[in-house]
Amino acid sequence: MGELKVFTIKKNIHEDNLKVAELTREELRRKGTFLINIMSSPGSGKTTTLVSTIKILKDQFKIGVMEADVDSDVDAVAVQNAGAKAIQLHTGGLCHLDSTMTKQGLDELGVDGLDLVFLENIGNLICPAGYDTGAMKNVAILSVPEGDDKPLKYPKIFGKVDVLIVNKIDAIEHFDFDFDLLEKRVRKLNKDILIFPISAKTTEGVEDWANWIKKEIGGDK
């Protein structure tokens, strides 16, 4: 799909994050582009989940992905090979993206003609939760090996997101993971959250998650 673009983002501390986030959402709505911000710990399966999702949706929607990382372009290449327009965002050591940085990435990606853009945020459960990126929806991914106690340790992110994807359910029998207990803990923080159990590896449950995206895009455009 051509040579991958790698862009080093620059943080402007003088910008008002919330103001830029709202302006970004307004601009994306005018262009008919739906932005989803995905957050998780490293190793939870963000990129594998994106690849599985792109394969389901790519024939129906034009998709772009912004892969944020401290370095490397491995993840961007993977989603590009799956059929999405991709850009790698190098953060220079920062552990999150805010709305100004996201806007820079969107400008470099070029969203004209894109129906759907995913922002794969920096891999941790603390920093990204504190910043509005300008996304229409926020999603967290929690993998089974991480344990069902993560909402107790990192309540802010679970209280913020619209959707929780529980990944690697194909391995649940090998871990001390109580799905019902996890759901109880999450809903104490966020009663309206949607929870999708999936296996990005086997694609179990990914169709349900993809169908939710289809409905959201249809409702927003």
CATH number of the domain to which 114 belongs: 3.40.50.300
pLDDT of residue 96: 80
Q: Which two tokens stand for residue 101?
A: 């940085």
What does the pLDDT look like over 43-94, one tens digit per residue?
999 999 999 999 999 999 999 999 987 556 677 889 999 999 999 888 777 7
What does the pLDDT look like over 122-156, one tens digit per residue?
989 998 998 999 999 999 999 999 999 999 999 99
Which residue, among 93, 128, 83, 111, has the nearest Cα to 24 in the 3D structure?
A: 111
Q: Which domain holds residue 49?
A: 5-220
Number of domains in the chain: 1
Across 57-61, 93-97, 175-179, least confident range:
93-97
83 close to 62: Cβ distance less than 8 angstroms? no
What does the pLDDT look like over 103-125, one tens digit per residue?
999 999 999 999 999 999 998 99
**How far is the C-alpha of 130 from the C-alpha of 97, rounded, in Å?**
10
